[in-house]
Amino acid sequence: MENLLLWGFYVMTFYAFLPGVISRTFGFRVFKKGRVLKEIALTFDDGPDPVYTPQLLDLLARHGAKATFFVVGSHAEGQEELLRRMKREGHTIGIHNYVHKSNWLMRPRTVRRQIERTNAIIEQATGEKAVYYRPPWGIINLFDYSNLGYLHIILWSAMFGDWREKVGVERLTRRMLKKMRPGEVVLLHDCGNTLGADRDAPRNMLIALETYMAQAASKGFRFVGIDEMMKLTDAYKATHRSLFKRGMISLWLMWEAAFHVLFRLKKVGDDDVPAFHYRVTTYTGENVQLSTGGSVEKGDKIAELHFDNRMLSGIAAESKSPIATGIRMLREVERALPHLADQLVSDPEAQHIKAVYGVTMVHRGADRLGFEIFHMREGIFAKTTRVYLKLLLKVLTNTKQYSKGRSNKDRSDAISPRMLLMPVQKLLTYATVQTRMVKDEVERVAENVDRVLGGAADETTMGSKTTAF
């Protein structure tokens, strides 16, 4: 009997207690508070209620506020018009299980069925499936992390006990006003028909909420759905790096500066932060056939390109998506190519190079600039390069950009390095040096012609013999 109790303790600890503590304390795999400037997320559990939810929707409409409703499936049945109204008025609908029962007391398969059944009701009423989930009482079991990977688990940062009628309007209002801060995910209840709640407690909540919203509006706060709160938080994090992140970037860039000195890399152009650097070296990879008909073979002389990671870090910090980062990097490369061509034309070490070469993850669209893109042959170099560039991506950029909303295949492709090659003949079409040389030669010839014409005119004035052209 003692062993049975001990095993029961172990199972409950790892199945329920520890996952709940980790999620609530550290926010692991859940969203519980935003990082924003003037936004608050109002969230309502346990509804919809045929009496109080319509009153709540009226209140939100008067204040132009958006909210998130985590509905109980059994309460939503027969209240489809309320669900449609929520969607029509711009609110977000999430799942709160089919019955208000703790995930600790259900098997993983049962939890999944509760969610799927509730989602079917939401989809039938609104035409869309919910993607946000809040487990009753915020309790998560070990398997929720993997089984519910397609849902965003939402907890909260502010809770006031509004499900108890005896709290009263005044005390509830005071509690709420103390939590009027940007990024708060406020937990309230628009239904009292659950275990431990009072049937008419939402009446007090509505009175307190009106005071709270009026004072918040006077201070410039805005009420948004959880979807917008998460987007704004991602954007904030992308532009406001932590002290640890800034320290990591500084150390990485110091190492990169030492690398440039050690391998004698040359800066392209005169900018303080150039698009890339280069060095003239010998190609050591596999032989590559170019679409132009030529090839690059082992032992050929090449110009090896290196992106400047200070520029990559700055662009990634300001960009809202990996696509935006790639587009801006592509523009910087396009702007720098004429400078690179000019330098290689005048660099004695580069007189006999066959191509310019680089390995990068930012490769989409490079073919439009004249680069040819090749998969790297699997081997030690490819593996170490992949590890290095993934580490670089993690240190210098917002890696959530590269995983959010993507399948495993898309994520793998987005961070898979490619080899870029551009034949030197193509690169020279970017050169401005040769154009200037031709222009200077034309101007020199024109000056000589003008001089000859001027001399002929002088001879005519002096009565000399004229010269025909």
For 127-182, how does the pLDDT look when each residue is reduced to its tens digit (9 = 90+)? Answer: 999 999 999 988 776 666 555 667 899 999 999 999 999 999 999 999 999 999 99
- Tokens matching residue 416: 């898979």
Q: 213 CB contacts (<8 Å, ≥6 apart)?
A: 59, 63, 65, 223
Asked if pLDDT for residue 391 goes beyond 70, the answer is no
Q: Mean per-residue pLDDT for 200-213?
A: 97
Local confidence band at 291 (pLDDT 50, 70, 90 cut-offs) = confident
Output the pLDDT for position 27.
47
Output the pLDDT for position 308.
82
Local confidence band at 413 (pLDDT 50, 70, 90 cut-offs) = very low
Lowest mean pLDDT among 209-223, 257-271, 414-428: 414-428
Compute CA distances 342 → 68, 186, 271, whole Å. 58, 60, 15
Contact between 400 and 414 (Cβ < 8 Å): no
Output the pLDDT for position 397.
56
Output the pLDDT for position 142.
60
Quote the CA–CA distance of 311 and 316 in Å, as a whole number.
8
Output the pLDDT for position 78.
93
- Pick the residue with more confidence: 358 or 141? 358
Question: At residue 92, what is the residue type?
Answer: T
Output the pLDDT for position 406.
45
Quote the CA–CA distance of 165 and 204 in Å, as a whole number.
7
Output the pLDDT for position 354.
92
Local confidence band at 241 (pLDDT 50, 70, 90 cut-offs) = low
Output the pLDDT for position 375.
82
Quote the CA–CA distance of 97 and 87 in Å, as a whole number.
19
Q: Mean per-residue pLDDT for 317-337?
A: 76
pLDDT in tens, 429-442: 888 755 444 444 54
Local confidence band at 285 (pLDDT 50, 70, 90 cut-offs) = confident
Contact between 321 and 379 (Cβ < 8 Å): no
Output the pLDDT for position 398.
54
The residues annotated with a catalytic role in the active site are 45, 189
Q: 326 CB contacts (<8 Å, ≥6 apart)?
A: 362, 364, 365
Reduce the DSSP state of residue 155 to 3 states and report it. Answer: coil
Quote the CA–CA distance of 218 and 450 in Å, as a whole number.
77
Q: Is beta strand 185-189 parallel, antiparallel or unpaired with respect to 67-71?
A: unpaired
Closest CA to 184 of 152, 216, 206, 161: 216
Quote the CA–CA distance of 100 and 183 in Å, as a whole number.
27
- Tokens matching residue 252: 């990485």
Contact between 157 and 32 (Cβ < 8 Å): yes
Predicted TM-score of the model (pTM): 0.55
Most confident of 22-36, 191-205, 261-275, 394-408: 191-205
- Pick the residue with more confidence: 147 or 109? 109
Residue-averaged pLDDT of the chain: 80
Output the pLDDT for position 417.
76
Reduce the DSSP state of residue 281 to 3 states and report it. Answer: strand
Quote the CA–CA distance of 202 and 84 in Å, as a whole number.
21
